[in-house]
Amino acid sequence: MSESANTSTQGSLIDVDLLESECISICQELIRIPSVNWGEGKGDERAVAQYVADKLSEVGIDSELIITGENRVNVVAKIAGSDQSKPGLVVHGHLDVVPADAKDWSVDPFSGLIKDGYIWGRGAVDMKDMDAMIIATVRAWKRVNYVPSRNILLVFFADEEAGSEYGSRWLVKNRAELFSGYTEAISEVGGFSVTITGGHRLYFIEGAQKGINWLELTAKGSAGHGSFINSDNAVSKLSAAVARIGAHVWPERETKIGGKFWPKIAELVGEKYDPTNISPLLKHLGGAARMMGATVKNTANPTMLKAGYKANVIPQSATAVIDGRFLPGFENELLETLGQLVGPEIEISVLVRDKALEVEFEGPLVDAMIAAIKKFDPEGIPVPYLMSGGTDNKALSDLGIIGYGFSPVKLPSELDFFALFHGVDERIPVEGLKFGVNTLNHFLQNI
């Protein structure tokens, strides 16, 4: 028997019931370990990172805990493949979660409670569900001595929710050797189902992400008494500029990934596709329309204002912060348009800038994603999509690693999944998680 046939046989010996039950219990246990990221360097992944390392160690998988700051901890482990000539795959998640105010929730946000067919708690969808799928899968492999064909690097990052400076960006900058020989990656916010008009169940696989330009606007004028007429009022100048930005209607643009996603939607719902007027198709996407509406155009939202120190004093300057997000290939349009909207009297400075991503949705890895989804949901329709936010794949792209969002989960048609990200009563369906871990296991065995 060949080595490939032998490993395939070993993979088929996995106890599916145990795989599923472990995934559920691990997800619950991860949620019960608060790993809240408050931003500005204030976070704590120490306990949850140790939990992950312990779960891997129980089945003989060695890992490294990489400390990047006070209580900021990442976990890295390598699963050696049978064919060392193949490039490796990075399978990554993040361990931190955003804060949760218990008084707003119907359950304890760190309970991991199973209720009404869902696992409830902060991190259930972002992204301790995927972390649990990864851990349960490799534990199942070790129990039957299954060896994947490619090297797989498991990475559980810190600090994804606040810029990744203690997580993926730190590791890429300071431990780049960890990723040597790895060319592709999978992570969060992809592979989930969305039921559209006509009952078609699509699986959104993330192949692109918008870029970020957080900008500070500064208006300067003449200080003076609040009772005097002042035509050189910095607050007035800034307010007018901010209002123009807020009211601006950005043109709709077609990206490479969008050019594959939206025509498929139009085909399925029986409507015409117009790349300059995509928004009429949004009504067919249910709760996904909120996020997808931001993926057909650049956006710029005023988010912060600061001016003055006393009610009767006109200040000499005023500032505002704009959250700008640009489509792949359209950063110049964002910056040039904002410059025109604010005018020559307003200074613009960049606070944070991060690239947009867009990868080719083709090749063996993509084929394996599609095949895995089709195996467990033959009626499912995998499609590539552009995400309005970002993931740790952006940091890995600095090393030339091509990343996709693929954390598969089958969702009830009525569930507003996007509202659960950072939302109150975050939860993941138990049956959807079972689907996810089986799909992920099949995918990783066939890459």
User: Cα separation of 48 and 17, whole Å?
Assistant: 25
Give φ, ψ of 78 to 5 degrees.
-115, 130
| Digit-coded pLDDT (tens) for 27-41 | 999 999 999 999 999
Residue 345, Cβ neighbours under 10 Å: how many?
A: 15
CA 279 to chain centre: 23
pLDDT at 1: 43
Taking alpha carbons only, the member of 409, 401, 402, 404 closest to residue 372 is: 409
Region of 299 (left: φ > 0; alpha: ψ -120 to 50; beta: rest) is beta
pLDDT at 237: 97
pLDDT digit string (tens) for the chain, length 447 residues: 455 555 567 778 899 999 999 999 999 999 999 999 999 999 999 999 999 999 999 999 999 999 999 999 999 999 999 999 999 999 999 999 999 999 999 999 999 999 999 999 999 999 999 999 999 999 999 999 999 999 999 999 999 999 899 999 999 999 999 999 999 999 999 999 999 999 999 999 999 999 999 999 999 999 999 999 999 999 999 999 999 999 999 999 999 999 999 999 999 999 999 999 999 999 999 989 989 999 999 999 999 999 999 999 999 999 999 999 999 999 999 999 999 999 999 999 999 999 999 999 999 999 999 999 999 999 999 999 999 989 999 999 999 999 999 999 999 999 999 899 999 999 999 999 999 999 999 999 999
Structural domains present in the chain: 3-206+357-445 (3.40.630.10), 211-257+293-354 (3.30.70.360)
Residue 206, SS3 per DSSP: strand
User: Cα separation of 202 and 361, whole Å?
Assistant: 16
Which amino acid type is present at position 319? Answer: T
- Paired residues of 354 in beta bridges: 212
pLDDT at 12: 80
User: Cα separation of 136 and 127, whole Å?
Assistant: 14
- H-type alpha helices, 248-321: 258-269, 289-292
Give φ, ψ of 76 to 5 degrees.
-130, 135
pLDDT at 8: 61
User: Cα separation of 191 and 406, whole Å?
Assistant: 5
Region of 422 (left: φ > 0; alpha: ψ -120 to 50; beta: rest) is left
pTM of the model: 0.93
